[in-house]
Amino acid sequence: MTTREMKMGSAFLISSPIKKEFNCSIKDNPSSNKAELMAVILSVMVCPKAAEVKIHTDSQWVINIFDKLYNETISEIEKSKVNYKIWWLLLLKMVKIYDLKINLIKIKAHGDNENNKTVDKLAKLGIEKETLMVEDTLLLHNGTICWRDMPIERNPILMIKGVKDVQFVDEFMSLNRSLIYQQPELLELIDWKMSLKLNCINQYDTLFEDHYLQSFRIKICCDELPTCANLKKRKPELYDDRWKCNFCGIEEETYDHLWQCYKIKDIVQEIISIFKKFLVNIIIEFSKDEINKDQLVDKVEELAMWDFNCHYNFTFLLKNQISYKMMNLFKFYKIVDLKMIHELIKQIIRKIILDFKILIWEYRNEIQLEKEKRYNISNKDKKKKKSKSTSKKDNGKHIRIEQSETNWNKWNDLAFHWGGHWANF
């Protein structure tokens, strides 16, 4: 995207006692709310002391927040969680210091008001103007939180949470087992914002069954299921190259192979068929629309995730990785409430994990145990720890890897300057 697309125009018009107009461009966290708020701030800046001012605006958000903060002290405003707090503090300080009486009046957006039409045109032309620069000392208040020496305009609690979230995702993607997520084509298919929310475990959840499934899902996500491929890494003295897939006995047994093994192709197709029906039924249950079931079935069939050769296939659901196409399917059927979508997806993931566990994994474990008995591998052997003499030593040498710039810093910078969630970048 270009620098032009990172800018927004802001403008105001003084209709009396003399007619004056002003417009400029603004950047960093661009949004319609910020543009409207900046227009109010700029118009107040040119007012004389003790003036009574009527400001007409089509932003109900600005009016609501102004009315809420108008009678509060500066100290109370500093403790609030309102977005663009540093700009609200600047506005309210000017109002109190210069003893201004401000009356904000709501007008209809894109209506018949000629002055409003003029200001809209000025705002559009303002994108071509120089960017408004505000002295930092005007924005630095008590306890102002900054990101790379720039004051944070939005809710700082959510900003800090976002920084920690993006650090976690960056560390996860840096692991060798997560190399698959370094494919740009795959990254663009996943809704990372929802996927991250699904990975937040409820610490107050005490249901043993849910905890057990959560543990199983984490092993899948981290590629830590005790497949033969992993067992050979953990216990090479017990599991040699003879240990292949428990079903076909030819290929290396990995999580991905279990879904594509030709010996259990019918079981996998049964799981997919059951899951498609479940997906149709749960969308009908959660949707507020009258749904044509045949049309919904066709749309579910059209999803590319049923093809294992695609970058994103439905097995990623077991790892809490949700595709944009599935999210768009929910929105198409008017399922837009995020809490409802979150609950819906949790049920979907729970269903597919249970089917995989019961129909494939437990069946595989029975074969594995029989094979271990034939090779005289006992539970005691499997639990036996490696001797300390075989462990590697670093001989006091430490390797330090320096990076000029981390991904999580880049993502946060983009979110800071362009607005929106870091996962969008």
The percentage of residues in the chain with a pLDDT greater than 90, rounded to a whole number, is 32
Residue the block writes with tokens 């409802």 = 340
pLDDT at 401 over 50: no
Taking residues 103-131, report their average pLDDT. Answer: 84
| 3 band by pLDDT with thresholds 50, 70 and 90 | very low
Spatial contact of 322 and 198, defined as CB atoms under 8 Å apart: yes
Q: Collapsing DSSP states into helix, strand and coil, what is residue 103? A: strand
Of these ranges, 70-79, 188-197, 323-332, 396-405, the one predicted with the greatest mean pLDDT is: 323-332
| 391 band by pLDDT with thresholds 50, 70 and 90 | very low
Residue the block writes with tokens 């050979």 = 232
Tokens of 379: 């539970």
pLDDT of residue 414: 60
Residue the block writes with tokens 């208040």 = 141
pLDDT at 32 over 90: no
Element (H, E) at 278: helix 265-286
The percentage of residues in the chain with a pLDDT greater than 70, rounded to a whole number, is 84
Q: What residue segments make up the domains of the chain, in order of their start?
A: 3-151, 161-382+407-417
Q: What is the mean pLDDT of the chain?
A: 82
Taking residues 316-328, report their average pLDDT. Answer: 91
pLDDT at 143 over 70: no
Cβ within 8 Å of residue 217, ≥6 positions away: 318, 319, 320, 349, 353
The region, left, alpha or beta by phi > 0 then psi within -120 to 50, assigned to residue 392 is beta
DSSP state of 423: G
pLDDT of residue 231: 93
pLDDT digits (tens, 9 = 90+) for 44-68: 888 889 889 899 888 899 999 999 9
Q: Collapsing DSSP states into helix, strand and coil, what is residue 24? A: strand
Of 363, 334, 329, the C-alpha closest to 348 is 329
pLDDT of residue 327: 92
pLDDT of residue 1: 28
**Which CATH number applies to 3-151?**
3.30.420.10
Higher per-residue confidence, 276 vs 134: 276
DSSP state of 41: H
Q: Collapsing DSSP states into helix, strand and coil, what is residue 339? A: helix
Cα separations (Å) of 352 from 269, 277, 347, 406, 407?
Answer: 13, 12, 9, 35, 32
Q: Collapsing DSSP states into helix, strand and coil, what is residue 321? A: coil
Taking residues 293-301, report their average pLDDT. Answer: 94
Of 302, 326, 306, the C-alpha closest to 195 is 326
| 421 band by pLDDT with thresholds 50, 70 and 90 | low
Spatial contact of 150 and 416, defined as CB atoms under 8 Å apart: yes
Cα angle 260, 325, 306 (rounded to 5 degrees) comes to: 20
pTM of the model: 0.66
pLDDT digits (tens, 9 = 90+) for 145-169: 777 777 777 777 777 777 777 777 7
Q: Collapsing DSSP states into helix, strand and coil, what is residue 101? A: strand
Residue the block writes with tokens 């960056």 = 170
Longest CA–CA separation in the chain, Å:
98
β-strands 146-147, 150-151: how paired? antiparallel
pLDDT of residue 395: 46
Concatenating the DSSP letter of every residue in 139-194 gives H--TT--EETTEE--S-HHHHHHHHHHHHHHHHHHTSGGGGGGG-HHHHTTB-HHH
Which residues, listed in sequence order, are joined to residue 190 by a DSSP beta bridge? 323
pLDDT at 258 over 60: yes
pLDDT of residue 419: 56
pLDDT at 422 over 60: no
End-to-end CA separation in angstroms for the chain: 11
pLDDT of residue 403: 44
pLDDT at 185 over 90: no
